[in-house]
Amino acid sequence: MIDFLDIGYLETGSESQRKAFTVLSESRVLERLCEFDPVLIGTFPIGIAVESSDLDVACHFGDKSEFILKLQSEFSDFAQFGIRDFVLDGLETVVCNFVFSGFEFEIFGQPIAVTSQMGYRHMVVEHRILLEKGEDFRNEIIGLKNSGLKTEPAFAVLLGILGDPYLGLLDFEV
C-alpha cells in the first residue's frame, strides 16, 4: 500500500505522477502549508488522472480564519486565485483554487484530520479497488472520466452502486 502522506511515490510513478511531483516541488505548496498537515489526494496519487484533473490538496485547520489568511498570503498572486468557505456535511470548509505552471490546484481544508476527510477516505477505497480489479478496470475508469464523469460517479457506474456514489463508495471501506 502506498504511503499517501509522503509524495515520494510520485517521483517514480507514471508520467502524469512525475509531472505532479515536479509541479508540487516547484510550487512548494505542501511546504507552504506544512502547519495544516497537507496531503495530496484525488486522482494523481492513484494513477487515474486525466487531462482535466487538478491537484487536490487536503488540509486540517484548527482556526478557519488563520487558514484563510495563510492561503491568501501564500497563493493570492497565483493565476485564477479564489477562496470560498461554506459548511459541508456539518463541517466548516474552505476551498482555495489557483493555477501554477499549467496545473489547477484545489486546496481543501476542514477542522478534522485529513485521514478522516471524505476525499482522503474515497481515495484509499478507490486505490484498493483499483488494485483488486486490475488494469482493465483502471482503464474503464479513465475512459468514463474522459467522457465527463467525476471519479466517484465513474466508480459507482462500474461497481453498480445505486444512490449517492460518494456515500456508496464508503461502504467499501475496510
| Whether pLDDT at 162 is above 90 | yes
What ranges make up the beta strands (E) of the chain?
39-41, 55-60, 79-88, 91-100, 103-110
pTM over 0.85? The answer is yes
CB-CB contact of 125 with 169 (8 Å): yes
| CB distance 53 to 43 below 8 Å | yes
Nearest to 48 by CA among 150, 160, 172, 166: 150
For the chain, the domains span 7-170
Residue 1, pLDDT above cutoff 80:
no
pLDDT value of position 109: 99
Report yes or no: 158 and 140 within 8 Å, Cβ to Cβ: yes
CATH number of the domain at 7-170, please? Answer: 3.30.460.10
Continuous H helices in 134-171: 135-146, 151-159, 165-170
Measured CA to CA, the distance from residue 133 to residue 139 in angstroms comes to: 11
Instruction: Report the alpha-carbon distance of residue 20 to residue 34 in Å, rounded.
Output: 18
Q: For cell 477542522, name the residue.
A: 111
DSSP state of 84: E
In sequence order, the 6+-apart residues with CB closer than 8 A to the CB of 104 are 54, 55, 80, 97, 98
Closest CA to 139 of 154, 160, 123, 119: 154
What does the pLDDT look like over 108-153, one tens digit per residue? 999 999 999 999 999 999 999 999 999 999 999 999 999 999 999 9
pLDDT tens digits, 67-121: 999 999 999 999 999 999 999 999 999 999 999 999 999 999 999 999 999 999 9
What average pLDDT does the chain have? 97
- Which three cell numbers, joined as nine digits, stand for 121? 477516505
Cα–Cα distance between 5 and 60 in angstroms, integer? 13
